[in-house]
Amino acid sequence: MINDVKQAIVNKLLELYPDYIIYDEDIPQNFKTPSFLISLIEQSYSKRLNNKYQSLLSFDIAYFSHKRKTEIKSDCLSVQLNLLREFDLIDTYRVLNKQATITDDVLHITFDINYSEIKEEEFVKMQKQTTNTNI
């Protein structure tokens, strides 16, 4: 399920920034800019009734600008505004608790995605039972 949510985030980023590179969880040594890094920060998972489960995923999207040193701040602010506006709904997932910070010329957008799922269980059919009725 986490991979489905990550793929939805990648698709949304590609829709907004089709020419940017997107990395998942790890940046290579000679990474290219402009790029995004998607990281799963935390997950909580709890059981509800029967075979239903609830999960909260916390993500961090880091944006690395390709602009000159004097233009990085304004570029990060424009990407920040665009992502905060467009990340209300990612595919069918509602985005909660959006926050943005710029640290060391890298924009970090953090948010949560809450989803529910039903775990399919295999049902065991009743087996034949023989009863001894001889008294």
Rama region for 72: left / alpha / beta (φ>0; ψ in -120 to 50; rest): alpha
Give this prediction's pTM. Answer: 0.78
Give buried/exposed letters for 41-71 (b at 16+ CB in 10 A, else e): eeeeeeeeeeeeeebebbbbbbbbbeeeeee
- pLDDT-derived band of residue 125, with 50, 70 and 90 as boundaries? low
CA angle 17, 19, 23 (to 5 degrees): 80
Average pLDDT rounded to a whole number, residues 13-18: 93
Task: Write down the domain spans for the chain.
Answer: 2-118
Average pLDDT rounded to a whole number, residues 72-92: 91
**Length of the chain, in residues:** 135
Class of 2-118 in CATH: alpha beta
d(CA 119, CA 89): 24
Give the pLDDT confidence of 42-54 residue by residue, as tens digits.
888 778 788 888 8
Give the pLDDT confidence of 25-40 residue by residue, as tens digits.
888 888 888 999 999 9
